[in-house]
Each structure stands twice: as C-alpha cells, then as structure tokens.
Amino acid sequence: MMNKKLVALTFDDGPDIDITPKVLDLLEKYHVVASFFLIGERITESTKPLIQRQISLGCDIQNHSWTHPFMDKMPKEAIIKEIQDTSDLIYNIVGVAPTFFRPPFIAVSDEMYECIDLPFINGINCLDWDPTVSAEDRADMILSNVKDGDIILLHDLVGNVNTVKALETIIPGMLERDFEFVNIGKLFELKGINPNVKNKIWTNVLE
Ligand SMILES: [Zn+2]
C-alpha cells in the first residue's frame, strides 16, 4: 500500500484529430501520463497516429465501446460485439488489449456486468461534456474535489476546448499539491487493490 497521493487522469470519447493532440501537448509539457478510453469507430487512418503518440508518451488505451450506445438497453450479443470489436482493433494497433472498460453515459445493466469481462470505471467529473460549463468552473470542480485514489473523468471530445484550457490549471494545480498521475492499471496496483470486483463500477480505488 502506497501512501503517496495518486490519481489516474482519464479521457473518454477520442481520439479526436483536433482536441487529442492539444491534450497530449499538455501531458508532454508537464511530464504526466493519462489513460484514454477510446470509441472504436473513431479509430481511423487519420486518428491512428494519435494513438501511437499516446503510447509513446506512456499513456495506455482502454475500451469505451464501438459506437457509444446506451448499452444498458442492449442484448448480450450486441454488448459483446461492442466490446470485442473495440478491443480487437486496439490490440491490432498497439499490441496490447484494453484491461478496463468505461460504459458510455455510465449506463450499466446486469447483462453488461455478466458479459463484459473487464473492470468497470467511472470517475469524478466536472460536467465537461456540457459546452456551457466554463474552463474555470471545470478546473475548480476537479481541484476542489480530488483526493487520493481518485479516477478523474474528462473528455478529449470533438470541440472540447474548455477541457484543454481547464487542464492548464488542473495539472499544475495538482502537481503543486503533490498528487502523482499514474495509468489506471498502475493506480490499482500501487494501492494494492484488485480491480476485478463483480458488479462494481469504480470512481476511487480506495472506496
Ligand atoms: Zn463517452
């Protein structure tokens, strides 16, 4: 069990040709890593180089479904296909299969828990899918709530410039307060927590 304050910074809904590079520039500037939960159908010839850059910066690639549907309304076969197609494509590109899953809209069902064999991940958020929430409010929400063991859920979503701007405050603000950013898998490992708990979705690895 590590006593250092650790968090995992995570991004959903990419890769995006405009926003993802701006996020990666900031990770590189501050020498921090993040975990990216990708939508399978957003992986194209033009976004593949972004995934390669994520890997080269020490980030890891996780599963956020193929088409971003409400999976809690789907039958098992369709759920399995959403996950498998995405994991297969990611494996083909980076040589490692995703080890965590974030449900689109954080919508879950018994069927999903039964047929998705990956730990489910939520996180603390700052409503950053809502374009009316300012960069300042996003940064304030994260900085005033974040604690040891948290997973931080943000979006490198198309057009999401306010989150890029918020990161300019969030990352240095947390580094000043002695938080260390680690990959999602590393967060569980360093805290000595097994993520494979049935019917659970994680926001903080210590809870
Ligand atoms: Zn999403």
At 16 the pLDDT is 98
Ligand 1 centroid–CA 46 distance in Å is 20
- What distance in angstroms lies between residue 112's CA and the mean position of ligand 1's atoms? 16
User: Tokens 């083909």 identify what position?
Assistant: 92
Ligand 1 midpoint to CA 15 (Å): 11
What contacts 144, CB < 8 A, 6 or more positions away? none
Contact indicator for 68, 42 with CB cutoff of 8 Å: no
- Measured in Å, residue 13 CA sits from the centre of ligand 1 at 5
What pLDDT, on the 0 to 100 scale, is given for residue 6? 98
What class has domain 6-202? alpha beta
How does pLDDT run along the chain (207 residues), one tens digit per residue? 557 899 999 999 999 999 999 999 999 999 999 999 999 999 999 999 999 999 999 999 999 999 999 999 999 999 999 999 999 999 999 999 999 999 999 999 999 999 999 999 999 999 999 999 999 999 999 999 999 999 999 999 999 999 999 999 999 999 999 999 999 999 999 999 999 999 999 999 999
Distance 153 CA to ligand 1 centre (A): 10
- The alpha carbon of 81 and the centre of ligand 1 are apart by a number of angstroms equal to 17
Q: What pLDDT, on a 0 to 100 scale, did the predictor assign at position 2?
A: 56
Ligand 1 center to 154 CA (angstroms): 9
Contact 19, 156 (CB under 8 A): yes
CA of 127 to the centre of ligand 1 (A): 12
Measured in Å, residue 1 CA sits from the centre of ligand 1 at 31
Ligand 1 centre and the CA of 67: distance in Å? 10
Structural domain spans, the chain: 6-202
Residues 6+ apart with CB under 8 A from 25: none
State the Cα–Cα distance between residues 16 and 64, nearest whole angstrom.
14
**Alpha-carbon span 88 to 153, nearest angstrom:** 24
